[in-house]
Amino acid sequence: MKYTRIIVTRYGGPEVITVAEQECPAPMPGQVRVKVLAVGVSLPDVLAREGVHPETPRVPYTPGWDLVGIVDQVGKGVSGFELGQTVAAMPISGCYAQYVCLPQRKFIPVPAGLDPAEAVAVVLNYITAYQMLDRSAKVKPGQRVLIHGASGGVGTAFLQLGRLAGVEMYGTCSTQAAEVVKELGATPIDYRNSDFVQEIRHLTGDGVDAV
């Protein structure tokens, strides 16, 4: 069976993207093959294509940071996944293809009924926000956090996760986005018309625990 995938042949702009038709890979032992339903298009994808991201693959490579798809085949020794099941993965590259084979540990189930395009929009932003909140900052309930770019994709993900974690949050944003940031549980700080350092000191008295 043939399948199509995108290949970046050299680093650069959109002109370096090519389309290739090849034999579809079969899953090796321990691997799951998925039929790709949706992939993300993110800033890391663009930076990798340009060759400037810290985790840029060597060319030639297939781009695509994250995906949502349905299980199409499973390799020997795979358990916990069923044919037709919707799953998500974030392998950092390789997702711009009709079919993708990855080790089963790379996949997580996606709740039934979610739109694949909406589900894949969650993967990179929320994993990034979770890692900052839990692994890097290691904040505890009641601690204070300042989030820069609080109205962006990762910023809003951080606000939602931070609210669940019981964190006191302050977020830099534009005046237009202030209401959204407030609704998500943070105190908005207008980065264009105020000094956020002075504003944080004024609001908290002694600063924040993490930025």
Q: Where are the domains of the chain?
A: 2-119, 137-204
Amino acid at 191: Y
Task: Say yes or no: do domains 2-119 and 137-204 share a fold.
Answer: no
Using left for φ > 0, alpha for ψ between -120 and 50, and beta otherwise, residue 65 falls in: alpha
DSSP classification of residue 210: B
Q: Report the Cα 206 to chain-centroid distance in Å.
A: 33
Q: What is the pTM of this model?
A: 0.85
pLDDT at 4: 98
Q: Cα(206)–Cα(204) distance, rounded to whole angstroms?
A: 6
Q: Provide the CATH topology of domain 137-204.
A: Rossmann fold (3.40.50)
Among candidate residues 68, 12, 62, the one with its CA nearest the CA of residue 40:
68
Q: pLDDT tens per residue, the chain (211 residues)?
A: 999 999 999 999 999 999 999 999 999 999 999 999 999 999 999 999 999 999 999 999 999 999 999 999 999 999 999 999 999 999 999 999 999 999 999 999 999 899 999 999 999 999 999 999 999 999 999 999 999 999 999 999 999 999 999 999 999 999 999 999 999 999 999 998 889 999 999 999 999 999 9
Pairing of β 31-39 and β 67-74? antiparallel
CATH topology of domain 2-119: Quinone Oxidoreductase; Chain A, domain 1 (3.90.180)
